[in-house]
Structure 1
Amino acid sequence: MGNRIRNLRNAQGLSQVQLADSAGMSARYLGEVEAGKRNVSFGRLNALAQRLSIPLTELLDFEEPQIKGVVLKELNAYLESLPLNQLLFIQRALRQLMR
């Protein structure tokens, strides 16, 4: 579950401090949760889900496609804001990486 929280947090461009503060916990506690060193209560999971703007069930569902969907949504929003020349550069770079 810690990896899921970390992936969702990173996909939204949030630091541990930002997410922890807005969810009412310390950054150290959140770091330990993400590292799998600490259990997290239902109440804190709910606070994290609310701050991440996802249903609590998504944190409890261990299917990777949901995290992938969040990442794709964030990437798409970012890409839509770029001018064509930057999009073409990224497209070429991705093609090179995928070879």
Structure 2
Amino acid sequence: MLSIREASGQRIRALREKQGWTQEQLAERAELHPNYIGQIERGLKNVSLENIQKIAAGLRIELSDLFDFEYPDPLRQLQQLTQLLKDCPEEELAFILKHIEHLLQWRKHTDT
């Protein structure tokens, strides 16, 4: 699960990109340094309330819109996966399971 800092950074990036702006353009509008905007978007900085307000103003959105995001719900995702697999023929399920196992092994190797 993403931290609030990471989720907020991703939300700011998405809102900025929706405007078609670079980090530099947002920084100028928010009266902040472009490097600081980049650090926020990567979830590296805790942002003060004053700077959150500057970012919202720079994006021309309401302050509450910055926090209009939702965390992924693992149980809901599992239910969606189960629903997708429910009607698959048995040979397709075996094929899918084999590939999921390979992906998980690959992920395990890339995480180390």
Structure 2: how far apart are the matches of 1:60 and 1:9? 14
Partner of 2:64: 57
Give the match's secondary structure for 1:37: coil
Partner of 2:29: 22
Aligned residue pairs, count: 64
Partner of 1:32: 39
Residue 63 (structure 1) shift: 3.9
Residue ranges of structure 1 left out of the alignment (5+ in a row): 65-99
Residue ranges of structure 2 left out of the alignment (5+ in a row): 1-7, 72-112
The structure with more radius of gyration? 2
After TM superposition, the structure 1 = structure 2 runs for residues 3-18 of structure 1, keeping only pairs within 5 Å, are: 3-18=10-25
Please give the TM-score of this superposition, normalised by the length of structure 2.
Answer: 0.54
The alignment yields a C-alpha RMSD, in angstroms, of 1.4
Higher relative contact order, chain-length normalized (CA < 8 Å, sep 6+): 1
C-alpha deviations, 1:4-34, integer Å up to 9, x for none? Answer: 0000000001100010111111110110000
Residue 37 (structure 1) shift: 0.5
Please give the TM-score of this superposition, normalised by the length of structure 1.
Answer: 0.60
